[in-house]
Amino acid sequence: MPTPPSFLARSLRLARRSPLASLGVLIVGLVVIAALAAPLLATTDPIDQDLAVALKPPFWMADGSLQHPLGTDHLGRDVFSRLVYGAQISLTISVLAALLGAAVGVAAGLVAGYLGGRVGTVIMRIVDLNLAFPLILLALAVVALLGANLRNLVIVMAITTWMIYARVVRGLTLTLREQEFVQAVRALGARDARIIARHVLPNVLAPVMVIWTLEVARVILMESALSFLGLGVPPPTPTWGRMLAEGRDYLTMAGWISIFPGLAIMVTVLGINFLGDGLRDLLDPRLRGQT
């Protein structure tokens, strides 16, 4: 029997076949590095105000300088430095929220699918209920009431994402439960918890990873929207959403304040979506080409 090609070999082949996925890896890699190396990359302190250099344009425009490569905002804060520090916030919140949501959703889906019955019905009703809410409205209301901080934002974002995993994992578990290898393990006397952990869970992880990637992108968009509305991580911490909101009043004279954070959000989300699509092709050929 020929050994299946290694993950690395398949990745390389995929990179050749799917330039978009490779581009995704590149973009996401750069954003992650920017976030991690923010203290090294930042040209000045991201919250330092210096009204003497307020509203300086990016370096390629007249009056711009490399001291502030992407210009400064109305308080003289360096846009580039705020962008790289903002990446930390966006990535931290979205990755943690997506992880928390995935953990809860996968657990709920496994239980609902494997045990079924009344417990399963109750879980799926809660999923329906959660899906009925305009999520951003729910998030806004909860954040406004509980207070905007990192922990609350992560929890609120997780509330908007767990249902998708629950639905997908439940569907997969329903099928897996009836398959012969699971029946065989059960006949051997394995306990339910062991069957779920050792035999069902590994078989649902591939689609979960794909959903997780795409959900990180969605959470970044939602976090920046909340932040834009003034309900993100509070100042002085720089966030992409608030930078964009603050630049609104200076659009005509200093458009760069709003344009760059918007581009940062878009490019990051685009990169993650490329990566997610590529991952889907790699991990689950059945889903190839689907939306």
Partner 1 sequence: MRAYIAARLGTAVLVVLGVSVVSFVLTFLTGDPAEIMLPPGATAAQIAKFRTEWGFADPLPVQYWRFLRRAVHGDFGVSLQHGQSSLPLIAARLPATFQLTMTAMVLAIVLAVPLGVLAATHRGGKIDLLTMGVALFGQSVPNFWLAIMMILLFAVSWGWLPTSGRGGWTHVVMPAAAIAINLMALLTRLVRTTMIEVLSEDFVRTGRSKGLREVAVVLRHALPNALIPLVTVVGLQFGYILGGAVVIETIFTWPGVGLFTIQAIMNRDYPVVQASVFILATAVVLINLAVDLLYVWLDPRIRVT
Contacting residues toward partner 1, per CB under 8 A: 125-126, 128-129, 131-138, 140-142, 144-146, 217, 221, 224-225, 228-230, 244, 248, 251-252, 255, 258-259, 261-262, 265-267, 269-270, 273-274, 289-291
Q: Which is nearer to partner 1, 3 or 252 (CB)?
A: 252
- Rounded CA separation 291/289 (Å): 7
CB of 128 to partner 1, least distance (A): 5
- Rounded CA separation 43/65 (Å): 12
Tokens 């569907």 locate to 171
CB of 147 to partner 1, least distance (A): 8
* CA atoms within 13 Å, Cβ hemisphere of 188: 9
Q: Which is nearer to partner 1, 142 or 185 (CB)?
A: 142
CB of 32 to partner 1, least distance (A): 17
Non-local (6+) Cβ contacts of 155 within 8 A are 97, 100
Q: Which is nearer to partner 1, 28 or 200 (CB)?
A: 28
The total of other beta-carbon atoms located within 10 Å of residue 86's CB is: 30
Could you tell me if 213 and 276 are in contact, meaning their C-beta atoms sit under 8 angstroms apart?
yes
Tokens of 2: 């020929």
- Rounded CA separation 164/208 (Å): 9
Tokens 């995935």 locate to 102
CB of 277 to partner 1, least distance (A): 9
- Nearest one of 90, 103, 210 to 153, comparing CA atoms: 90
Could you tell me if 112 and 106 are in contact, meaning their C-beta atoms sit under 8 angstroms apart?
no
Q: Which is nearer to partner 1, 35 or 220 (CB)?
A: 220
Q: Which is nearer to partner 1, 21 or 196 (CB)?
A: 21
Q: Which is nearer to partner 1, 167 or 199 (CB)?
A: 167
Query: SS3 helix, strand, coil % of the chain, rounded to 5?
Result: 75, 0, 25
CB of 201 to partner 1, least distance (A): 27
Q: Which is nearer to partner 1, 74 or 186 (CB)?
A: 74
Could you tell me if 100 and 150 are in contact, meaning their C-beta atoms sit under 8 angstroms apart?
no
CB of 251 to partner 1, least distance (A): 5
CB of 234 to partner 1, least distance (A): 14
Q: DSSP assignment, residue 52?
A: G
